[in-house]
Structure 1
Amino acid sequence: MSKYAGEEILVVKRELLEEIGMFEGFQKDGADDAMAVMLEEGNHFFMDRAEAEEDPSHKQLIPYCIFKCGDRVLHYTRGKAGGESRLHSKISVGVGGHINPVDVGVGNLGAAVYYTAVQREIDEELDIQCDYEMRVIGLLNDESNPVGQVHLGVVHLVELESEEVSSREDALTDLSWATVDELNGELYERLETWSALCARYLATL
């Protein structure tokens, strides 16, 4: 039996992305417009995860939240408790996960479902003891490996007033802070692909 048995996750069709404008890497320009299209009702739906993981004709929408305080960025090592074995032991700057039907509640699909899921992921995975502001800064797409081919990252920058953050999840181990320069230097080779793309972008801000 698949480890994803019974799980459904939110996806969009690859052909929709191709209509919007397919890209590779980190894309800032047009991200807000692309999000508006993808989050229109009818343009996204739930799909069996086991099928989706092997089907590049669909992209799983993944919130990827970067937590920044001043010039320092939160990072962690992905533990074995995480759902994606292909990413274990990699350093990540992104917190987030799949969007499941639990986020729908009594409402319909749409932008509200997505943003409810983002907040749920943050609340489940991190204990944040300060105020913060969050905004979408770009999209991530990586066709070079099997993980990237079936996922689309939505990058949220979460700007914190302090570094009072701790992990609630075993999958997030060795929680620590590093400057953008450190992420692009000594830590770069250990970053998962999406985090490496984000680190490069953060260096341009």
Structure 2
Amino acid sequence: MQEKILVVPKESVLQKNVDFQGFRPGTDQNLWTHFAAEGLFLVRDSVEYDTRYKQLIVYLVLRHREEIFIYQRIRATGEKRLLDKYSFGLGGHINPVHSCSFRRLIASNLARELKEEVSFPGPYSYRFLGFLNDEEEEVGRYHFGLVFLVSCLSPQITVREKNKIQGKLIPVSQLEDYRDNLENWSSILLPYIPPEVGSQKSDV
């Protein structure tokens, strides 16, 4: 069965005057309402490089206390456009689920993305940070990010696909050291993450 993913028509985003460049922190109810009303599920292969649509992505920043999980796509990765780049966000498409609300749809896909990409013991919590849109870089032109900060109780975070990705926790104060090698979404988020992590002393 072909994978279906959640997209929104780019034209409708422009018409609703909710198009922007960069990161928009906080909860913009107009955007949530627009995505819930205009979103539709299409076959992934048909929209992967179709600029008429924006693919909605859950983008998860993992932390343990004042450390951030950073990872790098290595040679075996399937995403050649991001090869060797570092990122501190795990991104995943939104697939259909049996849900009675848009909020539950997002929450279900967030949990699935965590389960597929990383492994860590113990509970976690999360909160929404904001929206991310990038029209200046190739990958970003097809995607729109829903950014969440995920707080893990345990520091034992490992990637599942070790042949594709390598990752580790680093002090949030060291993120700046990776600036020149960050993929664009992480680069856009870089100024916002240290204050968010530093303001949250407890994990869950």
> Same fold per TM (> 0.5)?
yes
Structure 2 gap ranges (5+): 197-204
**Residue 168 of structure 1, aligned match among 137, 160, 172:** 160
Instruction: Report the equivalent of 1:136.
Output: 128
Tell me the alpha carbon deviations over residues 96-132 of structure 1, each in whole angstroms, 9 at most, x when there is no partner: 311234xx24x56733222211111101111121222
TM-score, normalised relative to structure 1: 0.84
Among 179, 193, 199, the residue aligned to 1:202: 193
Question: SS where residue 89 of structure 1 aligns?
Answer: coil
Q: Which deviations, in whole Å up to 9, do the C-alpha atoms of 1:141-188 show, x marking residues without a partner?
A: 11112210010011000112231211112365321112233111x211
- Tell me the TM-score normalised to structure 2 length: 0.85
Deviation at 1:52, TM superposition (A): 1.5
Cα distance in structure 1, aligned partners of 2:36 and 2:103: 5
Question: What percent identity do the matched residue pairs reach?
Answer: 32
Query: Contact 1:68–1:157 (CA<8 Å) still a contact in 2?
Result: yes
Write out aligned runs for 1:85-164 (5 A): 85-101=80-96, 104-105=97-98, 107=99, 110-164=102-156
Root mean square deviation, CA, Å: 2.2
SS in 2 for 1:187: helix
Which residue number corresponds to residue 7 of structure 1?
3
- The answer for unaligned runs of 5 or more in structure 1 is none
Residue-pair matches, total = 195
